[in-house]
Amino acid sequence: MGMRAPFGLLLAAGLTLAGSAARAHPHVWITASSELLYAADGTITGVRHAWTFDDMFSAYAVQGLEGKTKGAYTREELGPLAQTNVESLKEYAYFTFARADGKKERFQEPVDYFLDYKDTVLTLHFTLPLKNPVKPRQLMLEVFDRSFFIDFQMAKDNPVKLVGAPAGCQMKLERPSDGTASAQKLNEQTFMSGENANFGMMFANKITVDCP
Amino acid sequence: MKRHLSPLGRGLIACAAVLLVAGVADAALHNVLAQNPFGAPRSAAEPEVGGVIGWLLAKQSEFYRQMSATIRAAKTDGSAVWTLLFISFAYGIFHAAGPGHGKAVIASYLVANRETARRGIVLSFASALMQSLVAILIVGISAWVLNATAKTMCKAEGAIEIASYALIALFGLRLVWVKGGTLIRALQAAQPVPAIAGVPHHHDDGHHHHDAHDHHDHDHGHVHAQHGHDHVHDEHCGHSHGPAPSELAGPGGWRRGFAAILTVGIRPCSGAILVLVFALAQGLFWAGIAATLLMGLGTAITVAAIAVVAVFAKDVAGRLSAGRDGGGALFMRGIEFGAAGLVLLFGAGLLFGYIAAERTTCF
């Protein structure tokens, strides 16, 4: 008697409904600009990020902090918060994923980090040194939150800078979906590529640098 | 044996079909909604994970992001408060239609516990209200009274979150235990020879009562089916498959309902907390509270709609499977057990991070 098949169907149906429970949506918006840091010999040594939070999250983050002037916070006053930020970001791999010629690269703990507060929003600055500096033909850098709790958008102006890159290097930025027509295009592409066909990938900012 | 099981199999397929239809209808509805703003119709064959979610998320983000600007505007312009309330309400509706375990747990709970649609609505509203109140209390106490930092608040939020996931798992475990027992008894009862006589002596009166109820009812079931659809949905459901309404309202009934409300309602929405803290920072805490309550109301409406669909789907499955003596009751116990298992799966999945999307990010 084929009792198992209907039970399987039932389970599948249940999981279809349950699947919606796994869909996330952002609570924090970050406008990012990133710099790729090159050494004199053309190797890539790390990434320097500047992440500007939305004003709602900024208000949340400075809650309970006392500034000398009301409504303003100095870099020193925000020091402990910046420390907390970069320490917590470790768990999420700094939302920064690098591949040199297809090979995954890892980052060391952040250096030169600080927060500034301007026009009611916080900007977190930090540098991620690569564990092993690389000199690939192609570097791919992705900035995104897999769970999409945070929505990363690269800045409109100067989203990516190559600092000290050898002549002839070309940078290309692919922005994530904005929920309209491009979402579908990106989505198809995501599924076509097979691997990493995962939800958060739809929201990745993909920076590709090709060097001769 | 074959003859005996075949209506069961049919019933299972019917139920799976109903659930699938509900799932697909859910997606289709999103599709229909998604078409309006862009005008151009899309092919129905498009994979479900496509632009619909993108649109849903974009819509949520849009409402959510308007909130901060509106709260700011409300500082100088009183009429902006009305806009804020509307945005919060709309956000609540979309929010619950997208992510969130609340609706899944409530729907599964209703199916497992043979609840009525009316109770489903009450549970949805009560748990959403509790969720709003928890958010208001967390921010009210920690930020407003204690002036705690975001780090402290987020840690508190994280702790509550873990506790709530553990609660869901425990709640699911208890449901699985109870429903498993009922299913086993139904299985024993379905075996023709000595089981029926043996069962009552091993188990407590309450369950015996249910079993007897169900067996009696199957004769009535046929009559009902032939009568057509004159009966009120809730009453039909309550009489033929579940305990009487008076039993539900008894101490066990409401306590059980409270457990569901607590389990779903204890975890506040991160969005509400952010809005509340932001409103507090603008000196408009009351506007944040109003927004949070409206968000809860929107959420409750969506969850209640899903809860009603779940109860209805189970009812349809029950009617379809009630073709044969004994088999129908057994089938329904199986569904209930499956729903109980789903609650346990959600709890365990959330607790151990398999559904990582619902983890608060503190940084």
Q: What is the pLDDT of residues A50-95, one digit of tens each?
A: 999 998 889 888 888 887 887 789 999 999 899 989 988 998 899 9
Q: Do B71 and B282 contact (CB within 8 A), yes or no? A: yes
pLDDT tens-place string over residues B86-141: 999 988 888 776 555 677 788 888 888 777 888 888 888 988 999 899 999 989 99
Mean pLDDT lowest among A37-46, A51-60, A133-142, B309-318: B309-318
Buried b (16+ CB within 10 A) or exposed e, B192-220: eeeebeebeeeeeeebeebbebbeebbee
Cβ separation A181–B278 shorter than 8 A:
no
Structure-token match 């010629």, residue found: A101
Q: Do B325 and B251 contact (CB within 8 A), yes or no? A: no
pTM for this structure? 0.69
Q: How far is A60 from chain B (nearest CA, A)?
A: 6
Nearest CA in chain A to B317: A10
Q: Which residues of A touch B56 (CB under 8 A)?
A: 25
Q: Do A50 and A110 contact (CB within 8 A), yes or no? A: no
What residue ranges in chain B does DSSP mark as E strands?
none
The per-residue pLDDT for A5 is: 45
- Tell how strand A28-38 and strand A160-163 pair up: parallel
Q: Do A157 and A201 contact (CB within 8 A), yes or no? A: no
Q: What SS3 class is residue B100?
A: coil
Both structure tokens of A69: 């002037």
Residue B35 forms contact with A (CB below 8 Å):
no
What span, in angstroms and rounded, lies between the C-alpha atoms of B325 and B217? 10
pLDDT higher than threshold 60 for residue B249: no
Category of A157 on φ-ψ map: left (φ > 0), alpha (ψ -120 to 50) or beta: beta
Q: What SS3 class is residue B317?
A: helix
Put simply, the chain B residues between 56 and 115 with a CB less than 8 A from any chain A CB are: 56-61, 64-65, 67-68, 95, 98-101, 103-104, 107
**Short-list A149, A152, A59, A70, CA closest to B67:** A59
- Tell how strand A150-154 and strand A28-38 pair up: parallel
Q: Do B293 and B132 contact (CB within 8 A), yes or no? A: yes
- Tell how strand A44-53 and strand A111-118 pair up: unpaired
Q: What SS3 class is residue B185?
A: helix
Both structure tokens of B106: 């409530």
Cβ separation B2–A24 shorter than 8 A:
no
**Short-list B130, B108, B143, CA closest to B342:** B108
Q: How far is A168 from chain B (nearest CA, A)?
A: 37
